[in-house]
């Protein structure tokens, strides 16, 4: 099913000329109204009139998360506050949050794109959408809420937390679609099992999951444990919120980026150069319809590749591959690049360990040390030491073989690694604190 046939299946040529027109308007607009962009374009020696083709986009400077922090709170807004109808902010775990403002039209576009996303994920009028994304400054809750209403589904505005109540509502209200982070969906399954609820037998059929990188293995586990189709959704508050891209239920292979509103590029995160289609690198997004806070070549830090081949669902919009990590989640352990998602993939292949893990990085003298904490489960637990030690040796060896980094594996008691009700905290890096 497709929500907006006209735009979602627009032939590439028409789509690209629409992109160029909208890009030119956006560049004109930010140059005229946002001092930050006027300065950075001037510094790069480029005028809005120089943008004559989509390729000219590469000539524009990047926008970094730091630029948003530096202009805290409203410095990057391109319209006066009277035209802003909503303000969201990112979590701001490091430093000040990044603030985004939406005009009425921005909210309307976001709602449209979330509606497209819900329909692409196989939901429709009549569905009961259990929205467990957090409501508040975080964009997840309200973003999903508006989109679901536009589709005509019934929304339960659960927000995060209070897991037992969530399960009760899910059972009693007959929720058919779950929206939350992937790790929270597994947590729901775990709590359901403890409460003696067979979550597989509930009416849930689809999970629209996002907000953190997750692996294909984790998808299989979620689909198996909750008996649902698990659909990957992409978004970030700086660009809009959830619904920047989504997998279609037909292919479940790559996330369509709504290209009539965003232009995706893939760059080499070290050099900043644009990579040819199909190569893996950092995703950079330019917004081409936003009014409140348009962003030019925003560096998302998400690592993926761009797929331009046509999709079986009929949508013409390019896809990004499932995220393989964030360039700022990347740990450098003794000179080796390690993504938490790679470790997760290793753990999923070892029988008898739970997908709950935490990475602890320390510096011992001049040497980085990586400790992988993994929960044992009832199946893998043995009264024989050598079996448990064998388990940690296997994990250690697999990580060494696959990632080329030596780590220490610590088996911990079940349910002792903190469960997230939002984004999972996978890495504790104690190195910065010391030097």
352 binds another protein (CB under 8 A): no
- 418 binds another protein per the rule CB under 8 A: no
CA torsion angle 352 355 360 361 (round to 10): 100
Of 251, 350, 412, 427, the one binding another protein (CB under 8 A) is 412
**Residue 384 makes contact with another protein by CB under 8 A:** yes
Is 410 near another protein (CB under 8 A)?
yes
Binding window for another protein (CB under 8 A); candidates: 109-117, 159-167, 380-388, 420-428:
380-388
Question: Cβ closer to another protein: 173 or 381?
Answer: 381
| From 169, 249, 350, 411, residue interacting with another protein (rule: CB under 8 A) | 411
According to DSSP, the residues that pair with 87 across neighbouring strands are 101
Q: Is 385 in the site for another protein (CB under 8 A)?
A: yes
Interior angle at CA 81, CA 261 and CA 34, nearest 5: 60
Residue with tokens 């890009």: 23
Among 388, 406, 419, 420, binds another protein (CB under 8 A): 388
Site for another protein contains 6 (CB under 8 A): no
Residue 382 interacts with another protein (CB under 8 A): yes or no: yes
How many degrees, rounded to 5, is the angle at CA 241 between CA 111 and CA 324?
Answer: 130
What residues numbered 180-209 form the site for another protein, per CB under 8 A?
A: none
Q: From the CB of 417, what's the least distance to another protein, in Å?
A: 11
Q: How far is the CB of 412 from another protein (least distance, A)?
A: 6
Rounded CA separation 2/425 (Å)? 35
Helices 139-151, 104-120: crossing angle, 10 deg rounding = 70
Nearer to another protein, 244 or 399 (CB): 399
Across the strands, what pairs with 179?
131, 208
Per DSSP, the three-state class of 290 is: coil
DSSP helix/strand/coil, 222: helix
Which residue of 273, 383, 401, 434 would you call a contact of another protein, by CB under 8 A?
383
- The burial of 80, by beta-carbon neighbours within 10 Å (0-12 exposed, 13-18 middle, 19 or more buried), is given as exposed
Q: Candidates 105, 381, 394, 419: give the one binding another protein (CB under 8 A).
A: 381
Nearest CA to 317 among 327, 326, 307?
307
Residue ranges binding another protein (CB under 8 A): 376-378, 381-385, 388-389, 410-416
């Amino acid at each position: 099913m497709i929500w907006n046939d006209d735009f979602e299946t627009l032939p590439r040529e028409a789509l690209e000329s629409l992109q160029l027109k909208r890009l030119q308007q956006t560049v004109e607009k930010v140059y005229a109204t946002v001092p930050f962009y006027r300065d950075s374009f001037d510094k790069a020696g480029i005028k809005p009139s120089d943008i004559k083709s989509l390729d000219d986009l590469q000539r524009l400077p990047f926008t970094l998360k730091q630029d948003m922090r530096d202009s805290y709170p409203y410095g990057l807004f391109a319209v006066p506050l009277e035209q802003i109808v909503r303000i969201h902010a990112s979590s701001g775990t490091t430093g000040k949050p990044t603030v985004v403002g939406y005009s009425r039209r921005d909210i309307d576009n976001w709602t449209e794109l979330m509606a497209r996303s819900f329909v692409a994920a196989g939901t429709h009028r009549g569905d009961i959408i259990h929205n467990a994304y957090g409501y508040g400054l975080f964009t997840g809750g309200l973003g999903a809420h508006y989109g679901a209403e536009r589709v005509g589904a019934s929304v339960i505005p659960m927000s995060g937390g209070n897991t037992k109540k969530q399960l009760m509502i899910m059972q009693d209200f007959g929720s058919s679609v779950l929206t939350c982070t992937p790790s929270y969906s597994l947590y729901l399954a775990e709590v359901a099992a403890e409460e003696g609820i067979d979550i597989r037998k509930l009416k849930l059929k689809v999970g629209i999951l996002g907000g953190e990188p997750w692996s294909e293995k984790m998808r299989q586990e979620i689909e198996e444990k909750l008996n649902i189709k698990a659909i990957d959704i992409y978004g970030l508050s700086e660009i809009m919120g959830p619904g920047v891209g989504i997998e279609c239920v037909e292919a479940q292979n790559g996330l369509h980026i709504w290209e009539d509103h965003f232009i995706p590029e893939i760059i080499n995160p070290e050099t900043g150069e644009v990579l040819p289609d199909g190569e893996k690198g950092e995703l950079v997004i330019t917004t081409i319809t936003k009014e409140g806070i348009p962003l030019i070549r925003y560096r998302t830090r998400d690592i993926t590749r761009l797929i331009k081949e046509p999709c079986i669902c009929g949508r013409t919009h390019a896809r990004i591959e499932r995220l393989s990590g964030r360039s700022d989640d990347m740990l450098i352990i003794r000179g080796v690049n390690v993504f938490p998602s790679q470790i997760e993939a290793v753990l999923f292949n070892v029988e008898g360990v739970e997908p709950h893990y935490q990475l602890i990085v320390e510096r011992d003298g001049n040497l980085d040390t990586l400790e992988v904490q993994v929960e044992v489960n009832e199946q893998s637990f043995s009264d024989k030491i050598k079996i448990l030690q064998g388990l940690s040796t296997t994990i250690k060896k697999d990580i060494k073989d696959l990632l080329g980094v030596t780590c220490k594996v610590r088996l911990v008691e079940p349910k002792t690694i903190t469960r997230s009700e939002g984004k999972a905290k996978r890495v504790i890096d104690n190195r910065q604190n010391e030097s």
